[in-house]
Amino acid sequence: MIKVKNILCIGAGYVGGPTMAVMALKCPEYNFHIVDINQDRIDAWNSNDLPIFEPGLDEVVQQARGRNLKFSTDVEQGVKDADMIFVSVNTPTKTFGLGAGEAADLQYWEKTARMIAEVSETSKIVVEKSTLPVRTAEAMSRILKSNSKNLEFEVLSNPEFLAEGTAIQDLLLPDRVLIGSEQTTNGLAACQELVNIYQEWVDKDKVLTANIWSAELSKLVANAFLAQRVSSINSISALCEATEANVDEVSIAIGADTRIGSKFLKSSVGFGGSCFKKDILNLVYIAQSYGLQEVADYWRQVIIMNDYQQERFVLKMIKNMFNTLAGKKILILGFAFKANTGDTRESPAIFVAKKLLEEQASIVICDPKAIDSAKHDLKDLEGDISYELDPYEASKDCHAIAVMTEWDCFKDLDYQSMHNNMVKPAFLFDGRNILNHQKVHDIGFNVYPIGKDSLTH
């Protein structure tokens, strides 16, 4: 049986960093070490300018770092010293060969498993933290157990359910924690070690245990269900625009039914983020590989609807701006895939920006936290792109504003001043339905919300 004292996390990203920081804060009797191959990232974690923006994260790191939390690039030494290893490296969608565009690219995972087997001198519990296709734990387990050193390795699946922007709250007060293990004596004992850690701050009845495949699958299914709700309401937004119904009113009306519930019914320009699309594609690929074509088609439709919603948004812009955007300047207000994060992975703003550039529009991008990421995302694109932190400056000489992210700070801008700066007639496309549409219409904008009547002059 493995007794845990030293905990390592491989991968200091959006998942590994906040998760370990909160664990370290809540479990002072354990030592936490986070390693990454990216030196810049580790340097940032060791500085006062953390590599990711997450409300509340700075305080948590400041309390735990130097006490029982450290960051380094010394991966192998970290592995040697650890009793429990969380693996939180990236698992992008495969871009080549079998399953390209759908399956997860597991090369980093397999390398990590082989490295752990090679370097280890003592038995260890290895915890899958990254989202992975179902049955990855089995592959990991076989690689680890093929070591010739007579060491014991137990593999657990502990999927992460935190959402960016609310990660610290989600970690401190999770709806549930899920731990999957092999149902053997050693597997269950390893599971209990991790249960003990979580129970330092999470209610007993919120720590769920399951077999390892259920745990792995639950992660994909949770994200697929959440994304499906967004696609469902987005499909209705198109119908609302055609029928003069109002999608926000429909959301409130259906969400008041406790069987449906009110969360994740906010219609938008589309969902983004590192998980939803990737996890659904994974689910689709898994269903297909088991010959379940109807299941695969059912879930693929969630992505098709999301693509349609983004395309529809751009088409609406083109159509209403007299069928030409060439030479027009458009302010993209928000680039992050949601508010309260600097992350732009799969952000609908990327798609919209590309399409506007194809139409030969000039674009100016304004976001309180995501300008650096936006620059990286658009670095290979041709066309007139500028970046501006100040929304008033950014609105100068623009023909239109497209709201892409629901940042609170965008709700209270002085739209009168922005309108004064713009070419007339001025257009406003609210991809998040965050503005007071009547008010901005009264200022003089032609307003196009999602899933409700446009207000034009």
Q: How crowded is the C-beta side of 171, counted as CA atoms within 13 Å? A: 26
Query: Residue 36 in contact with residue 12, Cβ under 8 Å?
Result: yes
- Per CB under 6 A, does 14 bind ligand ADP? yes
| Binding span for ligand ADP by CB under 6 A among 13-21, 388-396, 423-431, 445-453 | 13-21
Position 36 contacts ligand ADP (CB under 6 A): yes
Q: Candidates 6-14, 301-309, 368-376, 423-431 — which segment interacts with ligand ADP by CB under 6 A?
A: 6-14
- Token pair listed for 109: 């995972």
Reduced to 3 states (helix: H, G, I; strand: E, B; else coil), residue 420 is helix
The answer to whether the CB of 82 falls within 8 A of the CB of 6 is: yes
Asked whether position 273 contacts ligand ADP by CB under 6 A, the answer is: no
CB 42 within 8 A of CB 36: yes
If the CB atoms of residues 112 and 395 are measured against ligand ADP, the closer one turns out to be: 112
Residues 6 or more apart whose Cβ sits within 8 Å of residue 57 = 17, 18, 21, 50, 167, 168
- The upper half-sphere exposure of residue 292, i.e. CA atoms within 13 Å in the direction of its Cβ, equals 11
Active site annotation includes 366: no
With beta carbons less than 8 A apart as the criterion, state whether 118 and 143 touch: no
> Is position 89 an interface residue for ligand ADP (rule: CB under 6 A)?
yes
Among 6, 88, 237, 310, binds ligand ADP (CB under 6 A): 88
Residue 86 in contact with ligand ADP, rule: CB under 6 A = no
Half-sphere exposure of 324 (CA within 13 A, CB side): 2
Rule CB under 6 A: is residue 45 a binding residue for ligand ADP? Answer: no
The footprint of ligand ADP on this chain (CB under 6 A) covers a number of residues equal to 21
User: Would you state the structure tokens that stand for residue 366, as one six-digit string?
Assistant: 């304004």
Pick from ligand ADP, ligand UDX, none: which does 31 bind, CB < 5 to 8 A by kind? none
> Which residue number, 187 or 348, has a Cβ lying nearer to ligand UDX?
348
Helix 247-255 to helix 212-243 angle (10° resolution) is 130
Q: Which residues bind ligand UDX (CB under 6 A)?
A: 160-164, 223, 226, 230, 264-266, 268, 271-273, 275-276, 337-338
Member of 9, 20, 41, 222 binding ligand ADP (CB under 6 A): 41
CA neighbours closer than 13 Å in the CB half-sphere of residue 208: 14
Distance CA 174, CA 194 (A): 15
Nearer to ligand UDX, 50 or 426 (CB): 50
Nearest residue (CB) to ligand ADP, 63 versus 72? 72
Select from 267, 274, 344, 395 the one that contacts ligand ADP (CB under 6 A): 274
Instruction: Tell me which of 275, 366, 398, 409 is the catalytic residue.
Output: 275
Q: Least distance from C-beta 282 to ligand UDX, angstroms?
A: 13
* 8-state DSSP, 104: B
Kindly state the DSSP code that residue 408 receives in the 8-state scheme. H
List residues with catalytic annotation: 275
Residues interacting with ligand ADP, by CB under 6 A? Answer: 10-16, 35-38, 41, 75, 88-90, 108, 111-112, 130, 274
